[in-house]
Each structure stands twice: as C-alpha cells, then as structure tokens.
C-alpha cells in the first residue's frame, strides 16, 4: 500500500466522484482499500458532501433511472441494491415516486414480450407461470406483472 496524505486522498476521490455518481458507501470502501484511517475518511467524506461531490439523493435518482431503463430492473431489485449500498429507505423511497409509471410498465411489457418468445411451455398457464417467475426475479411487483401479462394476453386476441 502506498502512503497517501489526506489532501491526496481527497483530490483522488473528488476526481473519481466528478466522473460519475457515487454513494457514500462506495467512497468509504475505496478509501479503506487505500489504507486511509477512519478519522481521515470521515473528514474527507464531510468535505466531499459539503462540496456536493457526494449527494445520496442525487445518486439514488441516477441509480434508479439507470437500473430500470437500461438494466430493466424492477423497484424491488433496485431497492435491495440500494440497501446493499447502505442507503436508507427514507432517502430512496421518495426517488421511486419520480419513476414514470407508463415508461416503467412499458419496459416490463417489452421484457415479458421478448421473454415470451424464448420460453417453452405446454400451455398458457405454464407460460404465464414462467413469465411471472422471470419478472419477479427482475424485481418487478406482482401487481405490475399481472397487469402486463393480462394486457399482453388481450393484445394477442386483438391481432
């Protein structure tokens, strides 16, 4: 391990935070890997928060938006990932309210439609069971899944 002064550590993590959103826990972990002592870590974190390099709420918004749009994760899986990053429910629950419900359901519908093409099933009941398990594993809520499967079934009859 290389000995690093507080100023060097601050400059390095500030540059790291300037490139992308990071949460407090990620920065703590990085500083610990560099061998920085805990009192120094607290001072560095305090400075990063004062200068707005770290903002938990801003991080949550970006994380949630990226995970449901690009990784196609549901609310439950996103919530679990944020808990693993040591972000409190109070911080991220308000950010969930900002999700565009129509876009969220559209993503789930598209996910189910593409999965439907690759799933082999004896009948509609078995197919729906497999689709439900798949969507649950992606972190979507049962009410949303049920709504999207029912809607996609109705669309098939219209075609």
* Predicted confidence band of residue 2 (pLDDT cuts 50, 70, 90): low
Coil, helix or strand at residue 53: coil
* Chain-centre distance for alpha carbon 37: 30
Long-range contacts from 146-149, C-beta under 8 angstroms, 24+ separation: 147/105, 148/105, 148/108, 148/109, 148/112, 149/112
Query: Within this chain, do residues 110 and 152 fall inside the same structural domain, yes or no?
Result: yes
Is 141 inside a domain boundary?
yes
pLDDT at position 27: 96
Asked whether residue 73 falls in the same domain as residue 32, the answer is no
Q: How far is CA 12 from the centre of its chain?
A: 25
Instruction: Looking at the structure, tell me whether residues 112 and 84 fall in a common domain.
Output: no
d(CA 81, CA 42): 24
What domain count does the chain have? Answer: 3
Assigned domain for 106 exists: yes
Quick one: 128 and 106 in the same domain?
yes
CA angle, residues 87, 80, 137, in degrees to nearest 5: 165
Mean pLDDT of 109-133: 94
Task: Specify whether 130 is located in the same domain as 154.
Answer: yes
- The answer to whether residues 110 and 92 belong to one domain is no
Residue 30 lies in a domain: yes
Rounded Cα gap, residues 50 and 52, in angstroms: 5
**Domain co-membership, 62 together with 76:** yes
Residue 157 has pLDDT above 60, yes or no: no
Digit-coded pLDDT (tens) for 39-97: 999 999 999 999 999 999 999 999 999 999 999 999 999 999 999 999 999 999 999 98
Tell me, yes or no, whether 1 lies in a domain: no
Assess if residue 78 is contained within a domain: yes
Report residue 70 as tokens.
């690009």
As a whole number, mean pLDDT of residues 133-146 equals 96
Residues 21-28 have a mean pLDDT of: 95
> In this structure, are 46 and 65 located in the same domain?
no
> Is residue 89, in this structure, part of any structural domain at all?
yes
The sign one gets for the Cα dihedral 77, 82, 88, 91 is: negative
Residue 131 lies in a domain: yes
User: What does the pLDDT read at residue 75?
Assistant: 96
Residue where a domain stops, chosen among 64, 80, 96? 96
The pLDDT of 114-126, averaged and rounded, is: 93
Domain residues for the domain of 150 are 101-158
């Amino acid at each position: 391990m290389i000995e690093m002064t507080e100023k060097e550590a601050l400059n390095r993590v500030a540059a790291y935070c300037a490139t992308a959103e990071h949460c407090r826990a990620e920065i703590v972990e990085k500083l610990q890997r560099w061998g920085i002592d805990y009192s120094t870590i607290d001072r560095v974190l305090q400075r990063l928060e004062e200068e707005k390099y770290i903002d938990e709420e801003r991080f949550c918004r970006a994380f949630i938006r990226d995970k449901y749009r690009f990784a196609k994760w549901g609310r439950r899986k996103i919530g679990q990932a944020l808990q693993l990053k040591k972000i409190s429910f109070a911080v991220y629950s308000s950010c969930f309210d900002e999700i565009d419900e129509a876009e969220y359901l559209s993503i789930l519908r598209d996910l189910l439609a593409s999965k439907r093409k690759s799933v082999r099933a004896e009948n509609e009941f078995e197919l729906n069971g497999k689709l439900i398990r798949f969507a649950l594993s992606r972190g979507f809520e049962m009410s949303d899944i049920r709504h999207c499967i029912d809607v996609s079934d109705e669309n098939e009859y219209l075609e």
